[in-house]
Structures are given as structure tokens and as C-alpha cells.
Amino acid sequence: MTAVTQNNADRPILVTGATGKQGGATVRRLLAEGWPVRALVRDTTAPAAAALAAAGARLVRGDFDDPASLRPALDGAAALFGIPPLTDGPAGRGTDLEAARGRALIDAAAAAGIEQVVFSTVASASATSRGSAGKALIEEYLHDNIALPTVLRPVRFMTNYLGVGRTGIEGISGGVHRHLFPPHEPMQIIALEDIAEFAALAFADPARYAGRTLELAGDQPTPVEAAAAISEAIGVPVRYERLTEDEAAAVGPQAAEARKRWEAGQGWHADIEALRVIHPGLRTFADWLAESGAAALRAGLGADQSV
């Protein structure tokens, strides 16, 4: 990878969502690459924020709902890594609020004279989904207002196997992984570290990645194959079950819509082999399990007495 240039050696990259999954992975990757990093956090005293500071990031306070707090965080920065903040509610995602927050961040970056922004949104399917509407608006605004924009669209995270999400799916419980995907159809997934790697590649070569949108995935096992790989890696039987239509509807309208979309064959479509040319170290699911996933799964499942 290209080293940090002398011109940018003293100009940091601001990372939003730094205490979250993608943001945290990106902070660590950029620091390892030699970039000075500012981590945007709402609470500088939170344990996750303290861990970022201990790793070498400079903490700056900011809130998407307080646009005036964003400009000082961006002043003097070389570039921005942005993630739209979650706006989930009982009826689904708040598209208008999500778009407003993303636009506020982009406006602050433009006002600070920042030319390069790498924004991570969500993988697209072959049909428009309600859940990605806010992110689509952010992407459009980004291209209209930033000179060197790059959009990353990651698919499902491999780390989603490590815990049950707010919707009651993801993770493994009682030796079962339950989700919306057809059991024998390819399901694209990606390691968080590889999202961070593509962000670092873009920051190292702004001209090459300007204006580009990258659909990101690292592997595409079927859910049944993924469960079998987990079973082999951790030595505990794990099987896959698909949520029924009624069960998906009980989770919420987004889940019901996603299940129908997958049933119709409207899944993610990242070109994994092309991505591997750009990033030869792109992790497969087996790579992730061997590197960190199996150990984390064993630790998590050790507390589940029903496994």
C-alpha cells in the first residue's frame, strides 16, 4: 500500500462511527498505516472512546444532530471517513433523518475545504429497497458536493455471527443460526477488516478511487455451508434455519421485505474476484474463522448452556 505522503503526514483523517464496528476497524487500519486519526465521538469518556485514544487516535466530540459541532472536528483534516448513523425505529429506518444527518456531515466537510470523503453505506440489491433509501440520498449528495468522493457498499458482516442483533436474528442460539436467507443460495459476507482495507486504499490513492462505488464482499457461502464451516472451526454442531414469512413479519416490515427480496433472487452482487485483484488479501469466511472468528464464537457460545 502507498505510504502516507509527506503533505498529509500532519493532517489527520476524521473517522465517524469510530466506536462502532466499521469505524473502529478503520481507525485501527489507518493508524497502522501511519495516518494521524481523529475519532468523532459523542462521549469522550466512554470506554470505547478511551480504547481509541489508547490506540493512538485523537478524540473529538461531535454530534450529527448538532451540525455546529462537526465543523471544528473537521478543521485541518486531510479527509473524512463517514458512516450514516443508525436511525432505526419500530416502523423501520428513518430515511429523512438519516439523509439529513449524512448531508450535515457532508456540508461540514465541504465548508472545511475537505476534498476527499470515503463514505460507507450498504450493499445494493437488484431492486430498490426501502431500507437503503436514506443512504442512496446521502450518496447522491456526496457526489454533488465533494470533489473526490468514494462510496463503499459492504454486504453482511462476518462478525454478525458473534451476537444476536436488535431484531432477534443474527448470532447463534441453541446451536442454531436463524436468518432470512434461502438456505442453499450464496450469501455474500465480508470481514470488517477488509472494509477498513478498502478505505485505506482509497485514502492512499485519492485520484484512483475518486467517483468510484465499490460493492464489497469477501466470500459467498450458502447459509448451510457457513453453519457447517462454523461447526468444523469451533467443534460444536451448528445448523441453519430460515425464518418463515410470519416470523420475518413479526421481526418487522424491513425483515419481511428483505425476505421477499431474497426469495425473488434479488441479492447482493459484489464482484469478489475483481475485488481480490485490488486487495489480494481479501478474507474468505474460512480466513476470518481462523484469524479471529472461531475464538470469538467459542467464547460467546461458552455462555450459552443450550449449545
What is the full DSSP assignment across 252-300?
A: -HHHHHHHHHHHTT------HHHHHHH-TTPPPHHHHIIIIIHHHHHHH
Q: How many CB atoms lie within 10 A of CB 296?
A: 16
Q: Is residue 56 exposed (0-12), middle (13-18) or buried (19+ Cβ within 10 Å)?
A: middle
Count of residues making up the chain: 307
Residues 98 and 134 sit within 8 Å (Cβ to Cβ):
yes
pLDDT of residue 163: 81
Residues 124 and 215 sit within 8 Å (Cβ to Cβ):
yes
pLDDT of residue 89: 47
pLDDT of residue 5: 47
Q: Please state the domain extents for the chain.
A: 6-156+191-216+268-282
pLDDT of residue 2: 44
pLDDT of residue 265: 86
DSSP letter, residue 77: -
- The pTM (predicted TM-score) of the whole model is 0.91
d(CA 253, CA 95): 14
Q: How many CB atoms lie within 10 A of CB 220?
A: 20
Q: What radius of gyration, in Å, describes the C-alpha atoms of the chain?
A: 19
CA 8 vs. chain centroid, Å, equals 25
pLDDT of residue 164: 63
pLDDT of residue 300: 83
- Consecutive sets of 10 residues in the chain, 307 residues long: mean pLDDT of each? 50 95 97 97 95 97 92 96 72 76 95 97 68 85 97 96 72 92 96 98 97 97 98 96 94 89 90 98 98 94 50
pLDDT of residue 92: 46
pLDDT of residue 266: 87
d(CA 265, CA 255): 15
Q: Is 30 helix (H, G, I), strand (E, B) or coil?
A: helix
Q: Please, where are the H alpha helices in the chain?
A: 21-33, 47-55, 70-74, 95-111, 133-145, 192-204, 206-209, 223-234, 245-251, 253-263, 272-278, 285-288, 294-301
Q: CATH: 3.40.50.720, 3.100.10.10, 3.40.50.1460, 3.40.640.10. Which one for 6-156+191-216+268-282?
A: 3.40.50.720
pLDDT of residue 167: 55
